[in-house]
């Protein structure tokens, strides 16, 4: 299941200011809004939320063929300020090209500071209270934009209207003072009130889901034991009780004791109606002899959908025979990833309760709903599980070896008090044979690849700087306690060019 991304869009960062923001497609028509916005943020190009790796999909320039554009009516709204970020800045410049857009600052900035030129212009309002420079991540695309003589600017403002643009991303953690800039926009310029809270969101979302589903319909949803699907399942259960059916597909590629833990947490602790489908033999059987990474991913993904579909049909049949139980009409999924054929084929409708939220918000919502802190702070785990953490064929024996090594590693990270400092960690397996010596005997075993990264957005990541003594202890324990391993390595590659998973 695709993980919710970290805050990667400016509107969501506004939640940190307790300002209510709604994320809408940039092509939304003003006439379709059922509220009057206090202000509008045109955010940067987007991520492909349906792609397991959250690939940036742009658009990268407003001049691209088919690039989406905002409804021009927004620009004519009286007294409704607009802030364009990156692509949004381009959109403003493109839309108002014939109008009077002036530059607040013009400078060549690499990995550097952005110092607003004080023109006594509107753009000053965006930088109010920010003396000197603000550090910004140098957008890679800037050079590209510089081909365009209309856009050599890092920040712009309209001469008369409250329309602003900034090329850098104020919402990302690499712009430490970006939040002040967003506050200037949302609170000072738009006059937004700072009264949004996660508990009010939670209450409203429960009511929204209840109304959407109606009094009789049943809902099914896949869970994995990760924070996103658990929080979504808990929210659904709060809204409609046991008319929500959670399904955990055990693909045989989960972590040590994970299936049992999910059962305990979801069913016993959180009161979620849960069915566990043990499909490990089917998955491992289908993966037999397969080495190519993308083929492995496809097999796992397709089989998951087949099994989830079978379960949906089974639950629907059961519901038909239960007095007063309505039809299964809805499926929940956190973000993307469900094929259209399931929606079309079974006539199901899709609920995505976390679609609006980003990782830290999902965590906060989880806390509101009583999800235990250990689960709330759990590192993300990919849908294909250990399958993408084994280089080579995933035989049951290899999966078990990777599972044991991972368990030791994570346990040691927890014991060292490092778990919450690290964004994601695991032990993967290279199934090449490496030589080792035990006593006076040489033996061949697999290679364990330890990974631990720090990241805020999972698009870029740095290897965690462990103390060598810690790594030595991990290596000793893994080689001694897990049979079949002769060598332990630590993967220090940052992302990019590396990825977080092995395959």
Binding residues for ATP: 224-230
Between 175 and 229, name the residue whose CB sits nearer to ligand XMP.
229
Per-residue buried b or exposed e for 206-243, using 16+ beta carbons within 10 Å of the residue's own CB: beebeeebeeebbbbbbbbbbbbbbbbbbbbbbbbeeb
- 3 and 458 in contact (C-beta within 8 Å)? yes
Name the catalytic one among 6, 26, 86, 332: 86
The site that binds ligand XMP (CB under 6 A) totals a number of residues, namely 16
Q: Is 293 in the site for ligand XMP (CB under 6 A)?
A: no
DSSP state of 243: G
309 binds ligand XMP (CB under 6 A): no
Helix (H, G, I), strand (E, B) or coil at 455: coil
Cβ nearer to ligand XMP, comparing 201 with 283: 283
* Structure tokens given for 186: 């949302």
Q: CB of residue 343 vs ligand XMP: minimum separation in angstroms? A: 19
230 lines the binding site for ligand XMP (CB under 6 A):
no
Q: Is residue 2 at the binding interface for ligand XMP, with CB under 6 A as the rule?
A: yes
Does the footprint of ligand XMP cover residue 383 (CB under 6 A)?
Answer: yes
Torsion over CA of 246, 401, 280 and 278, rounded to 10 degrees? -50
- Rounded to 5 degrees, what angle do the CA atoms 477, 482, 486 make? 85
Q: Closest by alpha carbon to 428, among 410, 454, 455?
A: 410
Q: Tokens 């003396």 — which residue?
A: 131
Asked whether position 283 contacts ligand XMP by CB under 6 A, the answer is no
- The least distance separating ligand XMP from the CB of residue 320, rounded to whole angstroms, comes to 32
CA 48/CA 55 separation, integer angstroms = 5
Per-residue binder mask for ligand XMP (CB under 6 A), 422-451, x = binder: --x---------------------------
Angle CA 134–137–142, to nearest 5: 110
C-alpha angle 391-395-398 in degrees, rounded to nearest 5: 65
Is 69 among the residues known to form the active site?
no
By the rule CB under 6 A, 3 interacts with ligand XMP: yes
Q: Which of the stretches 19-27, 381-389, 396-404, 486-494 binds ligand XMP when contact is defined by CB under 6 A? A: 381-389
Read off φ and ψ for residue 481, nearest 5 degrees. Answer: -100, -20
> Which residues contact residue 401 at a Cβ distance below 8 angstroms, ignoring those fewer than 6 apart?
429, 446, 482, 483, 484, 485
Which residue of the set 6, 26, 91, 171 is catalytic?
Answer: 171
Closer residue to ligand XMP (CB): 184 or 224: 224
Measured CA to CA, the distance from residue 338 to residue 49 in angstroms comes to 11
End-to-end Cα separation, the chain, in angstroms: 16
Among 157-165, 361-369, 433-441, 494-502, the segment contacting ligand XMP (CB under 6 A): 494-502
Binder among 94, 127, 153, 458 for ligand XMP (CB under 6 A): 458
Using CB positions, name the residue nearest to ligand XMP.
52
Residue 119 to residues 7, 115, 373, Cα–Cα distance (Å): 32, 12, 49
Minimum CB separation of residue 378 from ligand XMP in Å reads 12
Q: Per-residue contact track with ligand XMP, 138 to 167, x per CB under 6 A? A: ------------------------------
Binding residues: 224-230
- List beta partners, residue 134: 114
For position 59 contacting ligand XMP by CB under 6 A, the verdict is no
Applying CB under 6 A, does 88 fall inside the site for ligand XMP?
A: no
Q: Which stretch binds ligand XMP (CB under 6 A): 7-15, 151-159, 317-325, 492-500?
A: 492-500
Active site residue 245: no
Binding residue (CB under 6 A) for ligand XMP from 84, 384, 428, 445: 384
Among 382, 406, 413, 482, binds ligand XMP (CB under 6 A): 382
| 52 sits near ligand XMP (criterion: CB under 6 A) | yes
Task: For the segment 390-429, give every residue that binds ligand XMP (CB under 6 A).
Answer: 424
Considering Cα of 340, then 341, then 347, then 350, what sign does the dihedral take? negative
Answer yes or no: are the C-beta atoms of 231 and 202 closer than 8 Å: no
User: How many C-alpha atoms does 301 have within 13 Å on its Cβ side?
Assistant: 16
Has 145 been annotated as catalytic? no
Instruction: Give contact residues for ligand XMP (rule: CB under 6 A).
Output: 1-3, 52-53, 380, 382-384, 388, 424, 458, 495, 499-501
Catalytic residue IDs: 86, 169, 171
């Amino acid at each position: 299941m695709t993980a919710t991304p970290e805050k990667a869009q400016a509107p969501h960062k506004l939640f940190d200011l307790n300002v209510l923001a709604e994320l809408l497609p940039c092509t939304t028509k003003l006439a379709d809004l059922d509220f009057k916005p206090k202000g509008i943020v045109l955010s940067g190009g987007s991520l492909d939320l349906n792609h397991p790796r959250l690939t940036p999909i742009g658009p990268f320039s407003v001049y691209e063929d088919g690039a989406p554009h905002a409804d021009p009516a927004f620009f004519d709204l009286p007294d409704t300020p607009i802030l364009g970020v990156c692509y949004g800045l381009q959109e403003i410049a493109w839309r108002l090209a014939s109008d009077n857009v002036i530059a607040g600052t013009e400078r060549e900035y690499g990995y550097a500071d952005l110092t607003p030129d004080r023109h006594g212009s509107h753009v000053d309002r965006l930088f109010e209270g920010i003396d000197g420079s603000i550090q910004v991540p140098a957008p890679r695309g800037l050079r590209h934009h510089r081909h365009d003589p209309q856009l050599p600017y890092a920040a712009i403002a309209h001469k008369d209207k409250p329309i602003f643009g900034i090329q850098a991303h104020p919402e990302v953690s690499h712009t430490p003072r970006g939040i002040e800039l967003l506050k200037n926009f949302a609170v000072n310029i738009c006059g937004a009130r700072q009264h949004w809270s996660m508990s009010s969101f939670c209450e409203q979302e429960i009511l929204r889901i209840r109304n959407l589903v109606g009094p009789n319909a049943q809902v099914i949803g896949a869970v994995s034991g990760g924070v996103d699907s658990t929080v979504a399942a808990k929210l659904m259960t709060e809204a409609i009780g046991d008319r929500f059916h959670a399904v955990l597909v055990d693909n045989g590629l989960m972590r040590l004791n994970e299936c049992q833990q999910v059962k305990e947490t979801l069913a016993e602790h959180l009161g979620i109606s849960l069915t566990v489908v043990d499909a490990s033999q089917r998955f491992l059987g289908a993966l037999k002899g397969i080495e190519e990474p993308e083929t492995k991913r496809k097999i796992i993904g397709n089989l998951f959908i087949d099994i989830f579909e079978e379960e949906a049909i089974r639950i629907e049949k059961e519901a038909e025979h239960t007095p007063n139980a309505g039809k299964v009409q809805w499926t929940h999924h956190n973000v993307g990833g469900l094929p259209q054929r399931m929606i079309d084929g079974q006539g199901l409708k899709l609920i995505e309760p976390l679609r609006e939220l980003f990782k830290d918000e999902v965590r906060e919502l989880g806390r509101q709903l009583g999800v235990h802190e250990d689960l709330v702070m759990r590192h993300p785990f990919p849908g294909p599980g250990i399958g993408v953490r084994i280089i080579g064929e995933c035989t049951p024996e290899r999966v078990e070896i990777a599972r044991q090594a991972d368990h030791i590693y994570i346990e040691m990270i927890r014991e060292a008090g490092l778990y919450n400092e690290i964004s994601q960690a695991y032990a993967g397996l290279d199934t090449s044979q490496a030589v080792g010596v035990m006593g006076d005997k040489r033996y061949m075993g697999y290679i364990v690849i330890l990974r631990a990264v720090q990241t805020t957005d999972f698009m870029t990541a740095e290897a965690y700087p462990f103390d060598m003594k810690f790594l030595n202890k991990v290596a000793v324990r893994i080689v001694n306690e897990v049979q079949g391993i002769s060598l332990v390595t630590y993967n220090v590659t940052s992302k990019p060019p590396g990825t977080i998973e092995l395959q």
